Structure 1
Amino acid sequence: MNPAPSIWTSVTGVTLAQTVALVAPSVVTALANPTSYAVLLLTALLTVWFWEGLFAVLRKRKPGVHGITTALIIAVLAPPDLVLWQLAIALSLGVVLAELVFGGRGFGFLSPAVVAASLLVFSFPEVTLAPGKVNVALATIPGALLLLFLGLISWRILVGAAVGTGVLLMLSADGLNAPAIAAAMTFCLVFVVCDPTAASATNPGRWFYGLLTGGLIILFSDGPVPTTEGVVFAALIASIFAPLIDHLVVLVQARRWKTAHA
């Protein structure tokens, strides 16, 4: 696959492409609970833009709107009855700790949406993230194809995660319910696991990152069908190890090059 044009590799370009890709699953989610979704999305947008604006003022930069993708992802993952102050706290911590303290979008190594979703579950045990649904999964496919075409997500990670999940499920369950598994995982795989900021950047590293994530999804899930919490926690742990994975890949490649040219 050819690399994306430079406009799509900039922070603004990535934000624009992800926003376009998120439109369809967001609309499908909104149609199920229009009022609840609208309130959740508005709260999420106001929260992330408040912190982005505050940090922009403190650093004497122009404020951005890059947090729109974080807000859209969380609005899909959050349950319709989520208490708004809980959403605001989790998003505030996610955006600040995973992104803004490192200098903003593109400088951190964790996805603010993943950190926020994890904090929701860690901090408020009564909160259960919205399960993956068939209609949301189907609506995710056009956006996934767009991001793949632009080179903003890696097919190696998608395949690796699918293989890692499938292998562990076959070892631990009597049979695979492929449609249910695909419905549960598609949205999170595309917008959570494959986040270009948090995922591995080297091709060999992407395979290992995907396999690691797929295995962790089953370890963190309960039952034969992966849970949204399982995917989010798996993405969080795998993204913490992503820099180390890429570092080891570079070391191995450098050693091979040195040996070949010795």
Structure 2
Amino acid sequence: MNFLKNFFEKTEPYVQKGAKYHWLNSVHDGFFTFLFVPKKTSKSGTHIHDFIDMKRTMSIVVLALIPSLLFGMYNVGYQHFKVIGELASTGFFDIFLYGFLKVLPVVIVSYGVGLGIEFVFAQIRGHEINEGFLVSGMLIPLVMPIETPLWMIAIATAFAVIFGKEVFGGTGMNIWNPALLARAFLFFAYPAQMSGNSVWYSFSENAQTIDGFTGATPMAEAAAGNITYTVSDAFFGFIPGSIGETSTLAILLGAVVLLVTGIGNWKIMFSTVAGGLFMGILLNIFAGSQGLSEEAATFFGIPFWHHMVLGGFMFGAVFMATDPVSAAQTQKGKWIYGFLIGVLAILIRVLNPAYPEGMMLAILLMNTFAPLIDHYVVQGHIKRRMKRAKVAA
């Protein structure tokens, strides 16, 4: 790596202000600080420096996403060959290779469009390149159905970066999680391409003519009153769904990485799961109530722990709700924020038959209210301290 470091150090004078290639300063600095720890030091005040800077933090999150990405690639191939009836005769490598070739273009488009926009805004403003898209660029493909056209991925990514981040000032200033904003944009702008049975499978030309094909996700089947999955398949991820959201096991491996390194917030993860379990148990209690249709009673009666392994619940709890920018910042606020996400996600799933998921809307809604939660937590602390001060006086 020394030759790369020498290259960046030798070319640095050429991109400084007033130099010939000054307009490349942000790009040069972005790549250098991504590969190596920045050599900048504080110029005033007292600061404690750590080798874990923002780029290293984002890199660890990307590393935690790798298990979900790799299994998502395999599951894309698995579901494809299962649909066309060739699963038994297809080897592991061929299944994974098929999924790899289908998912890779989505990842490339996401990073290409997003980083391109980030570079342009950084150059226009004369700022350093923001690091946040290192994670968003991976999250966006993982929350998309495999049959989402690449041009839609590009539009959604551009929308998320420009209107979800840059208009608020860039990384660290955004109100909503950019990856979920990209999915929400597609869900409401192109509902026909983001819902229905066929979007969860990668079809070949021959597969399109298969008679009697049904391909709804287990979440949609459950909403219709049909339980067509096993808990083990849902846990390991051998079910239809968005690219990176199907395998709870792969997601938990990523959670371990985030928790061991101290990057992920365990309070938000734990409280989100607790909120989901609470609402699931509550709905199970009301499953036998009078006045519910047979279909509604079936969805109400889904064992509460099944919600944890279906849809995007665990993926959202581990990678989306814990976004350090759009989540609550106070310690007590994190408990409230996560718990409400879990409650709302299950509530939307069960009570809204037109949208049997809920995690995306729950997180975006709580992103909006996170500052309000922090405000009341801080005000509560101030009132208690003022009360203690009066008593002491």
Give me the TM-score of the superposition, normalised by structure 1: 0.88
CA contact (8 A) 1:118 1:229 kept: no
Residues 56 and 145 of structure 1: is their aligned pair in 2 closer, same or farther, counting only changes over 3 Å? same
Q: For residue 29 of structure 1, what is the amino acid of its counterpart?
A: G
Q: Compared with structure 1, are the counterparts of its residues 171 and 179 closer, same or farther at alpha carbon in structure 2 (3 Å cutoff)?
A: closer
Aligned residue among 356, 359, 382 for 1:231: 359
Instruction: Give the 5 Å matches for 1:25-36.
Output: 25-32=68-75, 33-36=99-102
Aligned AA for 2:57? V
Cα distance between partner residues in 2 of 1:99 and 1:24: 27
Structure 2 residue aligned with 1:168:
279
Identity of aligned residues (%): 26
In structure 2, distance between residues paired with 1:45 and 1:199:
23
- Post-superposition Cα deviations, 1:54-78, rounded to whole Å, max 9, x if no partner, equal 1011111343554131121111111
Counterpart position of 2:343: 215
Is the aligned partner of 1:205 residue 2:333? yes
Equivalent residue pairs, number = 256
Q: Which residue of 1 aligns with 2:143?
A: 77
1:100–1:244 distance in 2 versus 1, CA, 3 Å: same
Post-superposition shift, 1:220?
A: 2.3
Q: 1:250 aligns with which of 378, 389, 393?
A: 378
Structure (1/2) with the larger helix percentage: 1
Which residues of 2 match residues 12-51 of structure 1 at below 5 A? 12-32=55-75, 33-51=99-117
Is the Cα contact below 8 Å between 1:11 and 1:106 reproduced in 2?
no
TM-score, length of structure 2 as denominator length: 0.60
- 1:182 matched to 2:309: yes
Question: Using the alignment, how far apart are the partners of 2:342 and 2:373 within structure 1?
Answer: 15
Kept in 2: contact 1:152–1:196 (CA 8 A): no
Instruction: Tell me if 1:116 matches 2:182.
Output: yes
> Which is greater in Rg?
2
CA distance in 1, matches of 2:265, 2:132: 21
2:269 is aligned to 158
Provide the rounded CA distance (Å) in 1 between the counterparts of 2:138 and 2:307: 23
Contact 2:157 / 2:182 at 8 angstroms: preserved in 1?
yes
Give 1:107 shift.
2.3
Equivalent pair of 1:140/1:186 in contact (CA under 8 Å): yes
In the other structure, the counterpart of 2:54 is: 11
Provide the aligned C-alpha RMSD in A.
2.5
More displaced 10-residue stretch of structure 1: 71-80 or 214-223 = 214-223
Unaligned runs of 5+ in 2: 1-48, 76-98, 201-216, 220-233, 238-246, 284-299
How has the CA–CA distance of structure 1 residues 153 and 146 changed in structure 2, closer, same or farther, with 3 Å as cutoff?
A: same
- 1:191 aligned to 2:319? yes
Stretches (4+) displaced over 4 A = 129-133
Give the CA deviation at 1:238: 0.4
1:103-144 Cα shifts (integer Å, max 9, x gaps): 222222321111111111111112038669534221122221
Which consecutive unaligned segments of at least 5 residues does structure 1 have? none
Alignment counterpart, residue 139 of structure 1, candidates 250, 265, 284 = 250
Matched to 1:20, the amino acid is L
Structure 1 distance, partners of 2:274, 2:317, is 13
Moved more, 72-81 or 215-224: 215-224
Shift of 1:194: 1.4
- How far apart are residue 237 of structure 1 and its match? 0.3
Cα gap change, 1:257 to 1:6, in 2 (>3 Å): farther
Matches within 5 A, 1:93-108: 93-108=159-174
